[in-house]
Amino acid sequence: MRFTDTPELADWRKTVQGFLAQHWKRTEAEEEVMGEAAMLSPEYLARTKSWLDRLGEKGWLAPAWPKKYGGADMSVLEQFVLSEELTKVAAPTSRQMLNLVGPTIMLHGTEEQKAEHLPPMLRGEVAWCQGFSEPGSGSDLASLQTRAVRDGDDYVINGQKIWTSGAHRADWMFVLTRTDPDAPKHRGISYLLLDMKSPGVSVRPLVNLADEHIFNEVFFEDVRVPVRNRIGEENRGWYVGTTTLDFERSNIARAVNLKKQVTRLSRYVADRAAGGQPVSPAQRIEVVDRAVETAVCELLSFVVVSIQANGGVPNMEASMNKMYGSELSQRMAYTEMHVTGMRGQLRRPEGLESQDKIRAAMDYLTTVPATIAAGTSEIQRNIIATRGLGLPRG
């Protein structure tokens, strides 16, 4: 395991840093008050469009994609460095859902499907959402019930999806549907591309506990989707849906963000001491614990990227990284709340001195779903137990 860049990677890092210094301009104050909903708002998306276009021109929006589809054919380590440097300066890194649906179309789509969907996706002209989870199917996704019945050249869809992020702004949904209810559950699913303007689609907001509208319920009532919008074979959608390209999966962005948070917190503690109002020794120790854990989180990212860079597929290592990082993001928010006390309860700390701009309340509320989204901590622990430790299934 090497902890430093090779000379080639060091050069690449300088190239990325030079590009960012020249082209990315956002004030630290803006970054500090930015919540997740704000980052999905039409204003923010419009403001960052030209930035994303610029990244897209270089193939940096979808670095793992082949050049012929608008990517950059980058190695895992080059993507790792790119992602690390973009996160350090809080630059938006990719268009929503690009990496979830793009590679699937690239690998399993017809030439017509690729030509229709990939270029507008990279140009940011269309927004996508992911219609996988249902009220009774989350961790056990293969049990999904939304039904698609063939009728001539169309499928007719009835059912419901839930927790669909960005459905209220999406033009398209990539959706898993049940096309054969009698087959074993993984073998009766088809992967469809659904135009959100189709008659019979209704989207209802779900407001999260931070009072933000990010995800939704989506209902389908006799929605017709042309058969030509199916990706891959009928009833093979489960396997189509698990497609990935060789993405960088270290989630270094999370470690970089945690580092920023703990640095801000340390500055706050130092400022309080300098101002004659030190925080308690117990709180100082809590901050130190978070700093140590952040270093561990970074190392777990290195483990994952090292495995990938050596041609391996991270499995339980990716689960360890996801579980540890998401649980640490919650502990970090708790510590922010403890250390900042009454000030931390301000939801939007605009107008305060910069050392007080810790988004403790928002971090506290918005990190709750971190251990649910993209696979719950319990599921990650199951993977670590069975695939990592060889324990029997419970």
Site residues (CB under 6 A) for ligand FAD?
129-133, 138-139, 163-165, 215, 369, 372-373, 376, 378-379, 382
Nearer to ligand FAD, 355 or 376 (CB): 376
Contact 348, 303 (CB under 8 A): no
Using CB atoms, what's the residue nearest to ligand FAD? 138
Minimum CB distance to ligand FAD smaller for 138 or for 226: 138
User: Distance between CA 248 and CA 308 in Å, rounded?
Assistant: 8
> Contact, 33 vs 357, CB < 8 A?
yes
Task: Give the other-Cβ count within 10 Å of 225's Cβ.
Answer: 22
Active site residue 298: no
- For the bound state, the minimum distance from the C-beta of residue 233 to ligand FAD, rounded and expressed in Å, comes to 22
User: 92 vs 131, which CB is nearer to ligand FAD?
Assistant: 131
In whole angstroms, what is the distance from residue 304 CA to residue 249 CA?
A: 7
Report the C-alpha gap between 105 and 223 in whole angstroms.
Answer: 22
* Residue with smaller CB distance to ligand FAD, 94 or 164: 164
Which of 248, 286, 298, 317 is flagged as catalytic?
A: 248
- Least distance in Å: CB of 298 to ligand FAD? 24
**Least separation, in Å, of the C-beta of 165 and ligand FAD?**
3
Q: Which is nearer to ligand FAD, 27 or 242 (CB)?
A: 242
For residue 274, the surrounding DSSP H or E stretch is: helix 252-274
Q: Crossing angle for the helix pair 111-122 and 98-108, nearest 10 degrees?
A: 160
What is the chain's Cα-based Rg?
A: 22
- The total of other beta-carbon atoms located within 10 Å of residue 135's CB is 12
- Alpha carbon of 204 to those of 37, 165, 214, 365, 374: distances in Å? 17, 11, 11, 22, 22
Whether 361 contacts 206, CB under 8 Å: no
Alpha carbon of residue 163 to chain centroid? 14
Residue 173 CB, nearest distance to ligand FAD (Å)?
Answer: 9
Element (H, E) at 322: helix 316-340
Closest separation in Å from C-beta 41 to ligand FAD: 17
Minimum CB distance to ligand FAD smaller for 114 or for 169: 169
CB nearer ligand FAD, residue 354 or residue 377: 377
Closest distance between ligand FAD and the C-beta of residue 160, in Å? 11
- Taking 3-state DSSP, the helix, strand and coil percentages for the chain, each rounded to the nearest 5, stand at 55, 15, 35
DSSP SS3 for 150: strand
Strand (E) or helix (H) holding 159: strand 154-162
Minimum Å gap between C-beta 369 and ligand FAD is 3
Q: Please say which residue, 86 or 365, places its beta carbon nearer to ligand FAD.
A: 365
How many CA atoms lie less than 13 Å away from 200 in the CB half-sphere?
15
β-pair type (147-151, 154-162): antiparallel
- Report the Cα 116 to chain-centroid distance in Å: 25
Rounded distance, CA 282 to CA 392, Å?
40
In angstroms, give the least distance from the CB of 183 to ligand FAD. Answer: 21
Residues with a known catalytic role: 248
